[in-house]
Amino acid sequence: MKRRSVLIGSAIVPLLPLSALGQEAPNCDPEEGGGGLITIEKMAKFSPRARSDLLEAIVKGWRHVIGEQIITPIRAQHFLAQIATETGGFARIDENLNYSAKRLRQVFKSRVTTADAERLQHRPQDIANHVYGGAFGRQQLGNTEPNDGWTYRGSGFMQLTGRDNFKRRGEKLGLNLVGDPEQVRKPDTGFKVATSFWAAVNANRPADADDLREVRRLINGGKNGLEEAGVWLARARRNFTNVPTTPEEADKFDPSELQAVKSTLEKLELLEPNPEESGNLADLIRALVKFRADEGFPILDVANLLPPQQLRALYDEDVLYALTDYQARLPE
């Protein structure tokens, strides 16, 4: 049988057969974590600030992933990158709609007037019913009742939104998600729904081609969060692979994650686009300093450090989570 390969970092890695993820391998439990590819420890390294109950739901519910044919490392990496992007690194599975007036106008500019924003700010339920209701809600989401915007707000690991989406996933899974939408906002069911949604949009196809842009379009409907998903994808490739790494290799800064961070900073116009992958490390460091200042993070004295050490100090967990929170910086 001909075996295909993919590029992960600088190594060519074969797409592994089903048994490599534990479905057919002896002495392993395919029901949890794909036979060792996905573990709580690996998940915690992938997203250090993740909620423990969400990580547990992923590992224990991995059978649903395998059931949807997410059975190669590259598919698993893309799937995990997308659900990390949608949940803020597994920090939340219930859409945060506690917007200020300014953010409301930025995120929902076409659906919220200045007067609306002043009236609705910091009132999540009213915000949901306004932005996911009305003509838009009826036509795009199937929301027909006055409180549907809030009832069927973004939920679960894929931020399922709208009565119609809840109905379709519920019918597929044999669950009454329309009558009991809180199920989607619980970790176990929320994860199961995410795997079903992934399969419904046939995201395995572009994942096999390593086409992040197309995967993102299928999951989110556009390119919002594309660069941020690139950061999570780089981290997924580093953490979820059957290629062994030495402690020395594990401690090195991943060049693919570095490139994804650069792309995200370029999108934010904090860094000039550079066609060279390596780019200018000094420019990147300056961009990270500016980003930290804009976010109000502590000022770090890195002047006496070598550039690679400066980079490691500046790109800490605070920056990782702020930089990949695409919903905080949706285009106006």
- 223-262 pLDDT, tens digit per residue, is 889 999 999 999 999 999 877 666 666 566 788 999 999 9
If you write DSSP's letter for every residue of 17-78 in order, what string do you get? Answer: PGGGGTSS-TTS-TTTGGGGTS-HHHHHHHSTT--HHHHHHHHHTHHHHHHTT--SHHHHHH
Instruction: Name residue, tokens 């695409």.
Output: 326
Calpha distance 39→4 (Å, rounded): 25
First to last CA, the chain: 50
Question: What's the pLDDT at 326?
Answer: 83
Question: What's the pLDDT at 68?
Answer: 97
- 22-70 pLDDT, tens digit per residue, is 333 333 344 555 567 899 999 999 999 999 999 999 999 999 999 999 9
Q: Helix and strand tally (H, E) in the chain?
A: 19, 2
Question: What's the pLDDT at 2?
Answer: 35
Q: How many CB atoms lie within 10 A of CB 224?
A: 17
Question: What's the pLDDT at 153?
Answer: 97
List, for the chain, all residue ranges whose pLDDT scores fall below the cut of 50.
1-30, 331-332
Question: What's the pLDDT at 109?
Answer: 82
Calpha distance 180→32 (Å, rounded): 27
Q: Where are the domains of the chain?
A: 5-92+193-248, 101-183, 253-329
Q: Are 57 and 191 contacting, i.e. CB atoms less than 8 angstroms apart?
A: yes
- Architecture of domain 5-92+193-248 in this structure: Orthogonal Bundle (1.10)
